[in-house]
Structure 1
Amino acid sequence: MAKKAKNRKELLKKPDEFLTFSGKLLATIIKYKVYAVSGLILLLAVVMLISGINYMGNRAENQAFVLLEKGMADYDRILADDGPEKAYQVAKNQFQPLFEEYAQKDAGRLARIVYAGMAYDAGDFDTAITLYQGALDDIGAYPGLKPFILGGLGRTYLAQKAYASAARQFETIIQGSDPVLKEDAYLNLGLIYDRMGKTEKRSEILSRFIAEYPDSTFVGMVKEKLANS
């Protein structure tokens, strides 16, 4: 056991600190409506972050992650007492240095996604869309998060009743090779087509959902919806 721990530390110089930062970061991204996912997807996303973000030994990156974690913790505290709008206003001052001073660092890029979720919760949809779009433009830094960003962007357009724009985001998720959030994208597309009055496309997408996810907990609800159409 001791030898195994030693080898791990040789590989990841400060593993406990690294895993704590990565785990908290991923959990917060999901919490702030970039998207809720299953335990398996969450595990894969954590692995992606651990393998893709290397801030150990990088002083500026480390400082940026500290600021990000503090901003998230303060947001949580204010959110519990005063709600999302007040928490969002306070977070704006704390996240600004991350956007300005650490824009090219992993923490700065990820702060943009986290803050987009905060903007969504506060009803500032225009800011959320701008931030999500910026994250897509910078997707090369973390391609594994593309479905999360597209999902957040799709939900924001949906909240604005910009149904065509929302549909494009979820269609992109479905057409992609990454299985992350595809099940959710099918359901959102079904809802969007229903609201657009495109009943044939709604029935088509929901039928594909049933075929591809026969064990989903939502299959019964979807079948009932199709039967009553």
Structure 2
Amino acid sequence: MAKKKIRRKELLKKDDEFISLSNRFFQYVSAHAKQVQYLIVSLMIIIAIVIGISLYFKHLNKKALAAYNLAYKNSVSDFSPDIKEDTINRSIEELDKLIKKYGWTKMATLAIPQLAYLKFGQGKYDEAISLYQTYLKKDKSGSIYRSMAHFGIAAAYEAKSEYQSAISNLKKIVDDENNFLKEEAMFSLGRIYAVSGQREMSKEIFKDFINQFKESPLIPLAKANLTK
């Protein structure tokens, strides 16, 4: 089938329509020159603000990282057995300042469980629990720190003799098949069941522990708990 031939008259008509549309556009721009100018300037200002905010947040993230590194370095040194109380307090102050000043950054979020750990070491169990819970609310990712936070909460509740709360937090770790802390959490769960007087539950947990973690260095202790 032969292609339909476009007439010269039709081509000229299309060209005229394009020229007419272009003319109307330029006429509109000429008639509203100020409005168009304001629009362009506004867009440029918005772009400049977006770039400025982006650079500012990048700068703040760098400062937060530097503050985190300093606080982390000091908190790591706090593991020394002969560390002085004022050194621990200094680490707590640095972590607290980082969290308050750069609260929206990832570094500040990661500082929360570290601060909780130091509070736990001072025997301030309620503060430690509150900080760990704050971290769990802020970080919804699959971070390994979530498991560590649950473990920390369990330890704080155990120190307060609130065993049922400790058990519920340990279960959150144990129920996760691929959790890297499952071995330690299951052993602790069996131990806390025993401490709280739930001997049968304790024995069940230790039996499961022995079956699941045959190479664990904690096996002799688990077996010893079965004979009590």
TM-score higher than 0.5: yes
**Amino acid in structure 1 at the alignment position of 2:72:** M
Following TM superposition, by how much is the alpha carbon of 1:83 offset from its aligned partner in structure 2, in angstroms? 3.4
Q: How many residues align?
A: 172
| 8 A Cα contact 2:153 2:166, kept in partner | yes
Change over 3 Å in CA distance of 1:87–1:202 after alignment to 2:
same
Name the residue aligned to 1:97.
97
Q: Distance in 1 between matches of 2:90 and 2:76?
A: 11
Name the residue aligned to 1:132.
132
TM-score (norm 2): 0.69
Name the residue aligned to 1:174.
174
- Structure 1's consecutive aligned runs of 4 or more residues displaced over 6 angstroms after TM superposition are none
**Amino acid in structure 1 at the alignment position of 2:66:** V
Name the residue aligned to 1:203.
203
Name the residue aligned to 2:114.
114
TM-score (norm 1): 0.68
| Max Rg structure | 2
Change over 3 Å in CA distance of 1:74–1:215 after alignment to 2:
closer
Name the residue aligned to 2:158.
158
Following TM superposition, by how much is the alpha carbon of 1:192 offset from its aligned partner in structure 2, in angstroms? 0.6
Q: Distance in 2 between matches of 1:78 and 1:207?
A: 37
Structure 2 gaps, min length 5: 1-56
Once the two structures are superposed, the pairs formed by residues 69-84 of structure 1 within 5 Å of their partners are 69-76=69-76, 80=80, 83=83
Q: Distance in 2 between matches of 1:150 and 1:224?
A: 26
Q: Distance in 2 between matches of 1:224 and 1:75?
A: 36
Is 1:66–2:97 an aligned residue pair?
no
Deviations 1:89-148 (A, max 9, x none): 222322232111211101000011111111111111111111000011112145332211
| 8 A Cα contact 1:71 1:94, kept in partner | yes
Change over 3 Å in CA distance of 1:214–1:104 after alignment to 2:
same
Name the residue aligned to 1:12.
none
Name the residue aligned to 1:5.
none
**Amino acid in structure 2 at the alignment position of 1:196:** S
Once the two structures are superposed, the pairs formed by residues 203-222 of structure 1 within 5 Å of their partners are 203-222=203-222
Change over 3 Å in CA distance of 1:73–1:122 after alignment to 2:
same
| 8 A Cα contact 1:79 1:87, kept in partner | no
SS at match of 1:131: helix
Q: Distance in 2 between matches of 1:78 and 1:185?
A: 24
Following TM superposition, by how much is the alpha carbon of 1:193 offset from its aligned partner in structure 2, in angstroms? 0.5
